[in-house]
Amino acid sequence: MRFTYRWGQRPLEGYTIKRGLGQGGFGEVYFAVSDGGKEAALKLLLRGRTDTELRGISNCLNFKHPSLVHLYDLQTDERGDHWLVMEYVHGEPLSAVLNRNPKGLPAEQARDWFLQVARAVAYLHDHAVIHRDIKPGNVFVEHGELKLGDYGLSKTVSSTSLAQSANVGTVYYMAPEVGRGSCTKQVDIYACGVMFYEMLTGEVPFRGDSWAEIALRHQTDKPELSRVPPEFLAIIDKALNKKPENRYADMGEMIEAIERVSRVAEKAQPEEPILIVAENKTEKKAPATPPPLPKRLPPVIPKNGSGSLAAVPTFRERLGELATSVATAPLAAVAVVAAWTLFQAIFRDRVDWFGLMPLYALTVLMSWAVLVPSKLRERKRPLLGTWSMMIIGAAVGLSAFWLEGWALPTIVPDGSVAPAPNESYLAGTVRSTSGTMEALIGYTVFFALALGMMSWTDHTKRRRKDRFSLGPIFATAFCAFLLWVGWNIFIHSYDPPGYMFVALAGTAGVVQMVSPWTPPPPPQPRRRRLEYA
């Protein structure tokens, strides 16, 4: 990262820059030394700060609490830039400690450390300040003591506009009501519950592939509490309640609940996890393998243009969508027939009118065969595997065989007249007209491979890149051509009708047109938060 100022420069009167510490949503932070030898952290605020925000910083300058990073002064340099002079913490962020302890901290250690942070948050609330970005990256460990930082630009309780600050928190610790524009002290209580959960287990309660999925899980999913020590289950469950009114009334009430919890009983946790501190001296036995984390839900993205999150559809909702898709597939198949008719009229100077009805019926049948299995289990793996889809494809091949006017072979009864050699199969036990068996094998194998070996579910995914794309159609047409080559290599007595390939390619377009689609989420904004060295 490139900082505005380098070692030895004095942008602020009385302080000499030594090195850059970090860059975040509010500006840059430097380690500096005053002319008198006092070490300090200087935060260069981004230009455009409003008077309301600067007054909020000034209100925090006289805060005094042992678990808060002290703010010394707010000054303006010759260029008109604002600088926040803060205490320089000799330590590391709590997030670094948790990264070295992926199974969580010992329960008693987590309890003692969390209480220090909780008392600092309660102090801020008592002075009408909401932090809004409580997370391990903003908590610093110095000689076993914890200090909460990055509160100088926090939101005051009396403020009502979320636009007053660029800091909107971190999605892993963001309360559900933040997405609805609510900002009360309950936001900090929820974030504290998430951080306490992470200190105890080593994991945040909700993860996902995008910020939208994580935010939605905060709104809808219940946290997995099986790894939380039983003494703290009720506390975590209440702090992470979806409804703000059902959480603790204030931080003081949450602190009292935690202080009533005695040391974790040995029968509940006979072995404590390893706590790896910076000096790497403390070593204890690791616990047994914890239960697996809950499975991830598929990513969910915002509705197009609405700004709200699109909920993961329930089974009943998906069943309704499937019924709609199945009902509209015949209408979409008309476009395939019309396009093939136009192609024949332009490039072949004649239209095979008798082949249009089999083309239409086969396209509809193929579309249904793809839609039903892929949509019933949209949130999990496909309902049917490759071999099952090949069986469905073979059934479609039999339908195509019948649509083309072929009659199925018949079994010769005992005592009947033996069929002619060109109509006899399987030692005279099966009778069929010449070429029937070859065509039957060709149709079943052709559609079994077409349905079983191609990735049809990619065309029906809710989160596919585009609502409709020509790429899958061309890819399916190419695969159909390869199957046609194989047909001609192994079956010489009968050439497949051309509408079979049109039906396959058309199915790739129909299933896209009738399948529900939500646009991909916007790229997650890059946000770098300050972490002291």
Active site residues: 133
- Contact criterion met (CB below 8 Å) for 194 and 204: yes
431-to-29, 69, 101, 423 alpha-carbon distances in Å: 88, 91, 74, 5
> How far apart (Å, rounded) are the C-alpha atoms in residues 30 and 21?
5
In the beta sheet, which residues pair with residue 302?
Answer: 309
Q: Where are the alpha helices (DSSP H) in 202-241?
A: 211-220, 233-239
CA gap 480, 120 in Å, rounded: 67
Handedness of CA 96, 100, 104, 105 (dihedral sign): negative
Asked if 152 contacts 57 with a C-beta cutoff of 8 angstroms, the reply is yes
Bridge partner residues of 148 (DSSP): 68, 139
The one-letter amino acid code at 184 reads: T
Residues 173 and 201: beta-carbon distance below 8 Å: no
Tokens 């609405």 locate to 306
Nearest residue to 121 via CA among 18, 197, 34, 191:
191
Q: How many Cα atoms are found within 13 Å in the side-chain-facing hemisphere of 61?
A: 13
In whole angstroms, give the CA distance from residue 310 to residue 372.
23
Quick count: other Cβ atoms within 10 Å of Cβ 260? 9
Those residues with Cβ within 8 angstroms of residue 276's Cβ, 6 or more apart along the chain or in another chain:
97, 100, 101, 282
Bridge-partner residues for 84, per DSSP? 43, 74
